[in-house]
Every structure is written in structure tokens, then in C-alpha cells.
Amino acid sequence: AMSKSAVKISSDLLSNPLCEQEPGFLEMVTAFDTAMKRMDSFNQEKVRTALAVDGFSSVFPSLNMAVKRREQTLQDYKRLQSKVEKYEEKERTGPVLAKLHQ
């Protein structure tokens, strides 16, 4: 997505009226546009290669485990956050404050 955005920016710069008025600017923007298109095609080729090798999980096995750990931690956090909110809504008594602190 980042390289696609860079290609769009370079295309927008090429359509700028200043390019018609300033030949130096046109040359610079054309070089930038060419570089961004090359970068985009390189990135797309890398993505296709990685997906062709049985997806990213086979290329980056630790990434898949990290995503699973993050999802589990996020679920735990949401569960505990709802408990905290529940205790914060209750009357502030000794047992409630102890559970809230815990």
C-alpha cells in the first residue's frame, strides 16, 4: 500500500502545471516517478514470491506465533478490562476495592 501511495503521489506531481513551466522540475519528477514505479513493481514481486511459497507463515514462522500470542493477550486484556469496569461501577466497599486492586 505504501509503494502504491508513492506511485500515486509521483503521478499527481507529474500532472502538476508547474511541470509544464519548469523543465528542471519536470525532469526531477519524472525521475521520481520512474523510481517509485520500479519500487512498486519490486515490492509486488516480493509479495507474490512470498505468497507463492505457501503464504507468509512458511516464510516467517515466528510471525504467525507472534500474531497468535498477541491475539490471546488482547483477549485476556479485554476480559480483565471488563472485570475492572464492572467493579468500578459497584459500590466502593472493602471486598470490591480488594478485587479491584487485584
Domain boundaries, the chain: 1-59, 60-101
When pLDDT is cut at 50, 70 and 90, the band that residue 98 belongs to is: confident
- Predicted model pTM: 0.45
The confidence band for 76, taking pLDDT boundaries of 50, 70 and 90, is: very high
- Taking the C-alpha atoms of residue 46 and residue 20, their distance in angstroms, rounded to an integer, is 35
Confidence of residue 62 (pLDDT cuts 50, 70, 90): confident
Q: Given a cut of 90, is residue 74 above it in pLDDT?
A: yes
How far is residue 32's CA from residue 24's CA, in Å, rounded to a whole number? Answer: 12
pLDDT in tens, 16-55: 888 888 888 889 989 998 999 999 898 888 877 766 655 5
Instruction: List all residues 6 or more positions away from 53 whose beta carbon is below 8 Å from its beta carbon.
Output: 59
